[in-house]
Chains A and B, each alone.
Chain A
Amino acid sequence: DQQVKQNSPSLSVQEGRISILNCDYTNSMFDYFLWYKKYPAEGPTFLISISSIKDKNEDGRFTVFLNKSAKHLSLHIVPSQPGDSAVYFCAARAEGGKLIFGQGTELSVKP
């Protein structure tokens, strides 16, 4: 069973607009969430994280929102830039520190 789900395999956004990537999880014991960005032929790169004691964390153009009651988090990118085009993975930190990833969402930002 998939404990972390990203239901949108792809997303296309115009440059300068907002990108919203969504992620759902099933295990209420998860207490820390991360977003990674991945370019082709490279490993995932850490982007931003959020603890379950918060509902929002912001870093420049990137903001992550957490809705614990809905077991849902989202990543907002404002404004979107062509260099943001990549695959974005949502992950939950499980016991021992291992990460449980979603399937990824491929973001395409068009000039």
Chain B
Amino acid sequence: GAGVSQSPRYKVAKRGQDVALRCDPISGHVSLFWYQQALGQGPEFLTYFQNEAQLDKSGLPSDRFFAERPEGSVSTLKIQRTQQEDSAVYLCASSSRHSTDTQYFGPGTRLTVL
């Protein structure tokens, strides 16, 4: 079956622009995670959804970052007024039923803020 997909794969934004990154989890997966991976580093947790409920947003770096999953399937990570330090790869992962099940990652969206 299809894995986790993310779009766009690459995004270039001018500083100050708003961006929206999309994640399509594996069909039927209940849990969805967003991670941010800076160059040369490991992924860092941003936020977690169980169905449509955002249960943990402790990793979001500022109030410019906002995530939603209104119907419990597709999720969107929005970054307002992008800054150069937001440049990173944004990874989405889903797991089947519980948040402790194995997480399957999408290919990521590489965001470059100029």
Contacts and interface: CB of A to CB of B under 8 A. Distances in A.
A97 B40 contact: no
Task: For chain A, give the interface size range.
Answer: 20 to 34
A97 to B, nearest CB: 3
A103 B42 contact: yes
Contacts of B108: 43
Interface of A: 4, 6, 32, 34, 36, 41-46, 49, 89, 91, 93-94, 96-104
30 contacts: A6-B42, A41-B107, A42-B107, A43-B93, A43-B105, A44-B43, A44-B91, A44-B105, A46-B102, A49-B102, A89-B42, A89-B43, A94-B45, A97-B31, A97-B95, A97-B99, A97-B100, A97-B101, A98-B59, A99-B43, A99-B45, A99-B103, A100-B45, A101-B43, A101-B44, A102-B42, A103-B40, A103-B41, A103-B42, A104-B41
